[in-house]
Amino acid sequence: MKWSFKIGSILGIPVKVHLTFVLLLILIYFAGPVIVGVGGVSGVIFVLLVFASVVFHELSHAMVARHYGIGVQDITLLPIGGVARMAKQPERPSQEVAIAVAGPIASIVLAISFWFAAELFGSQVTVLDFSVKRDWLAQLAAVNLVLALFNLLPAFPMDGGRVLRGLLGLTMTPYRATRIAVGVGQVLAIVLFFVGLILPNFFMILIALFVYLGAETEEQQMGIMMALGGATAGTAMIRNVQSLSPDKLVGDAAELFCHGFQSDFPVMEGRRLIGLVTRDTITESLHKRGPSVPVQEIMARDFPTVVEDTPLVEVLEKIEASGYKVLPVLSGGELMGLVTLEQIWRYNMLCSGYSCEFMQPARRNASEIRPA
Ligand SMILES: [Zn+2]
């Protein structure tokens, strides 16, 4: 995620913090007494404890995912909560249910633990008394309870939405299950929006918008997954690729970028792929260092690749997980083409609801890779 930086790792999973979260800490430090009733150092410590609870919630998702062989890229903390990025979708609906339900269970366990601790240390409050501002333990118990209940709302991108889709998926196709779960989520978001307007509660309106858009994204993604079906990287890749030799300059890459359709360029030493220059690196190094830097100084050397037979669904997941917008397609170690998000989108536009079998990957040699 843009504007987030790593603060450490837990159980081998990088934990990142989004810049807006740091802004939240600064805001609480100075304006905390007005907003949440506690400010300064105590306010900041309280917010940090709340987010430690969120990390615990996300780690529970991650551990169950790992149990099913699904890697977790990282956990990012945002002011609205946490996000654990999975390397791929769970294969079976039952796995999706187990991964989704782990987070709220963890939050409930935390809530009960904090509640017991609050009782032990002589607190007079109960978890249901949200108005008590002074007792941290009771407040943390309340926050974790709210976190669990809020996440159990049956609406994407909340955990409850995933539980609902997983349960529906046990008896119907994934696409239909997603459609129904998305519908339930959006109706709930609309109800939440109007309740927020009537109360009025700004936070509730914000959550309603967040849920509505999240549900829509989920449906679009599912639509793409369905349309991609059995298609492979070989069917959708750009075959007519312009490549660069390592001694070409950033200026050459910028010209190719500007005057052609291609935005990202493989760097070839003879027939060997040794690097990748993306549109972002071209723009950045042109602006910072000028046009006469050799591409071998700015190219990425360590980047993911796919083979021609890699299913497009997997390509899409790899693009999302790696943050690279372009992946080289190899065959027997040799470059065959490039596959990009836009290329997948084009394939989807052409072949959604239509059989594109005539576009099977042709076995060609790598002669369509043209050096610049
Ligand atoms: Zn969760």
- Report, as residue numbers or ranges, the catalytic residues: 58
As a dihedral over the C-alpha atoms of residue 44, residue 205, residue 53, residue 33, rounded to 10 degrees, the angle is 20
Question: What would the pLDDT profile of 176-220 be if each residue is shown by its tens digit?
Answer: 888 888 889 899 999 989 998 998 877 778 788 878 887 887 777
Question: In Å, how far are 87, 254, 260, 267, 295 from 263, measured between CA atoms?
Answer: 25, 9, 8, 13, 14
Q: How far is the CA of 80 from the centre of ligand 1 (A)?
A: 12
CB within 8 Å of 352: residues ≥ 6 apart: 223, 227
Q: Name the burial class of residue 142, with classes exposed (0-12), middle (13-18) and buried (19+) by CB atoms within 10 angstroms of its CB.
A: buried
Question: In this structure, what token pair is assigned to residue 101?
Answer: 């339900």
Pairing of strands 72-78, 241-243: unpaired
At residue 366, the pLDDT reads: 47
For the cut 70, the answer to whether the pLDDT of residue 329 exceeds it is yes
Alpha-carbon dihedral angle through residues 172, 175, 176, 179, given to the nearest 10 degrees? 140
DSSP 248: -
In the chain, domain spans: 1-152, 153-228, 233-371
pLDDT score recorded for residue 122: 59
Indicate the pLDDT class of residue 51, thresholds 50, 70 and 90: confident
Pairwise CA distance, residues 77 & 21, whole Å = 7
The residues placing their C-beta within 5 Å of ligand 1, an ion, are 103, 151, 159
Peptide bond into 33 cis (omega under 30): no
Query: Residue 243's closest CA among 265, 220, 223, 273?
Result: 265
Provide the mean pLDDT of the chain. 82
Compute, in angstroms, the gap from residue 226 CA to the centroid of ligand 1. 25
Question: How far, in Å, is the centroid of ligand 1 from the Cα of 62?
Answer: 10
**What is the CA(104)–ligand 1 centre distance, in A?**
6
Q: How far is the CA of 57 from the centre of ligand 1 (A)?
A: 6
Joined together, the tokens standing for residue 322 give 């790696």
Ligand 1 center from residue 110 Cα (angstroms): 14
Measured CA to CA, the distance from residue 189 to residue 251 in angstroms comes to: 49
* pLDDT band at residue 126 using 50, 70 and 90 as cut-offs: very low
Q: Quick one: pLDDT at residue 101?
A: 95
Ligand 1 centre distance from Cα of residue 61 (Å): 7
Kindly report the pTM of this predicted structure: 0.64
Q: Which residue has the higher pLDDT, 364 or 56?
A: 56
Ligand 1 mean position to 34 CA, how many Å?
A: 29
Q: In 287-315, which positions are buried (b, 16+ CB within 10 angstroms) versus exposed (e)?
A: eeeeeebbbbebbeeebebbebebebbeb
Domain 233-371 has CATH 2.40.128.20: no
